[in-house]
Structure 1
């Protein structure tokens, strides 16, 4: 009987110790920290990324900051992933690795003054025009052949600059162009798109093992449509 009591005591101690380990384990030990630009559009897109990570059994948190800082800090390893960017940022930030299934599609438009004679705008046209844009400087230079324009984060401010003749053109997401041009009767959105761009999710290279699973998860989500469930 004495031996049985000791066996029960030992079993209880082992169970208590195991419970202590579980309780004291950090709650966010397996949480992936995703960084992104601080905009309303990006906040909407987090729902899709969250669904993809949940599909592979991972928890995530989102952190919002200026675009270039976001990329720099993901590249440095401070954060685990970049929510959504265009293909090509991995050339500028070599520690980022792209998940090959797109996470979203966006279109880019030009805003001009109504009094302007500009009726269409391409990236090549911007070589000889003054313009403002929120997009990353070096990516813009690659598209225009060297002209980076003026980098301005706020689409509203860009429309104001166009309206007050500080620049010829504002280049931004179509959804932003439509929203903010509607608030200023001196400007219009050029009907022809500058381009459509696919956006991709990027992980830091230390998490490259997640890429196949995330690709599969996003592909499954995208069966409902690339922009389904994201109310831009």
Structure 2
């Protein structure tokens, strides 16, 4: 009976399986790259996913409610708050929080500066609150980089990978980047608990793709995209903070 249920679940998933992607990530990565990544992950399971791009929190809530089948990628502290979601143990990537600036002198956590954050990025909201920074939120990273070019803010607070994917569209020729936390944050794939039978196969698939370097290749394509339009990224020494982002603060922002 258990075997039959497992077969039924897998067959049903293969026919109609929808992954939610945070709307902000779709701007940052591009839908084609996201679909390439997850098509590779699900190929050994004979599942060709469909994709939907929803605002950050609403999308998570709808996957948790069972309206969709999986959540593309979330940080552990966020995804684990949703009781109907199961986390694939092997992370897709390890990300860091960084500053993007067009002038080196602005790559500081200065309370007298203006910062931009990208909608739906709870970690950066927590950082702004904990460090009493003046932060304004924009809908996506393209808007943030355009605003930075027009000097409407001193710096963008983002993660170490995803915003690089749209730097070419911003019209910038050069950008400084500086790591501002010593922490790395694992990004995991989550599935709805009704698909528990897929947990082990997905773990195996992601582990194999990471071991072969295929996931790294896709992520590096995003990270190196700025060089395709002759853009230059200058990495500055990291800022050492006395404290990390507090999990409790992130949860307060979520609620």
Q: Are residue 47 (structure 1) and residue 36 (structure 2) matched?
A: yes
User: How many residues are matched?
Assistant: 200
Q: Which residue of 1 aligns with 2:198?
A: 210
Q: 2:78, 2:115 → 1: CA distance?
A: 22
Q: 2:192, 2:203 → 1: CA distance?
A: 15
CA contact (8 A) 2:94 2:187 kept: yes
| 1:190-229 correspondence to structure 2 within 5 Å | 190-194=176-180, 197-225=185-213, 226-229=215-218
TM-superposed CA distance for 1:166, in Å, is: 3.3
Quickly say closer, same or farther: Cα 1:157–1:58, change in 2 above 3 A.
closer
Q: 1:56, 1:126 → 2: CA distance?
A: 49
Q: Which residue of 2 aligns with 1:4?
A: none
| 1:76-87 correspondence to structure 2 within 5 Å | 76-87=65-76
TM-superposed CA distance for 1:27, in Å, is: 8.7
Quickly say closer, same or farther: Cα 1:32–1:171, change in 2 above 3 A.
same
Q: TM-score, normalised by structure 1?
A: 0.68
Q: 2:46, 2:202 → 1: CA distance?
A: 11
CA contact (8 A) 2:14 2:46 kept: no
Unpaired runs of 5+ residues, structure 2, are 1-10, 223-255
Q: 2:100, 2:196 → 1: CA distance?
A: 39
Q: 2:200, 2:126 → 1: CA distance?
A: 29
TM-superposed CA distance for 1:128, in Å, is: 6.5
TM-superposed CA distance for 1:94, in Å, is: 3.5
Residue 105 of structure 2: SS of its match in structure 1? coil
Unpaired runs of 5+ residues, structure 1, are 1-25
Return the index of the structure with the highest Cα Rg: 1
Q: TM-score, normalised by structure 2?
A: 0.63
